[in-house]
Amino acid sequence: MAALRVLVGVKRVIDYAVKVRVAGGGVQTQGVKHSLNPFCEIALEEGVRLRERGAASDVIAVSVGTRVCQETLRTALAVGADRGVLLEVGEGAAVGPREAAAALAGLVGRLQPHLVLLGKQAIDDDCNQTGQLLAAMLDWPQGTFASRVELEEGAVRVEREVDGGLETLRLRLPAVLTADLRLNEPRYATLPNIMKAKKKPLEIIPASALGVPLPLPRLRVLKLEEPPARGGGQRVQGVPELLERLRSDGRV
Partner 1 sequence: MANSLRGEVLNLYKNLLYLGREYPKGADYFRSRLKAAFLKNKDVKDPEKIKQLIARGEFVIKELEALYFLRKYRALKQRYYSDDNQ
Residue among 158, 109, 169 at smallest CA distance from 138: 109
The residue (of 55 and 194) whose beta carbon lies closer to partner 1 is 194
d(CA 115, CA 6): 5
d(CA 118, CA 154): 20
What is the nearest approach in angstroms of partner 1 to the Cβ of residue 38? 6
d(CA 1, CA 197): 29
DSSP 233: P
The residue (of 58 and 167) whose beta carbon lies closer to partner 1 is 167
The helix (H) or strand (E) run that includes residue 161 is strand 155-162
| Conformational region of residue 167, where left means phi above 0, alpha means psi within -120 to 50, and beta covers everything else | beta
Residues lying near partner 1 in the complex (CB under 8 A) are found at: 16-17, 38, 123, 181, 185-188, 190-192
What is the nearest approach in angstroms of partner 1 to the Cβ of residue 21? 17
What is the nearest approach in angstroms of partner 1 to the Cβ of residue 37? 10
What is the nearest approach in angstroms of partner 1 to the Cβ of residue 116? 22
The residue (of 25 and 192) whose beta carbon lies closer to partner 1 is 192
What is the nearest approach in angstroms of partner 1 to the Cβ of residue 44? 14
The residue (of 35 and 142) whose beta carbon lies closer to partner 1 is 35
d(CA 160, CA 148): 7
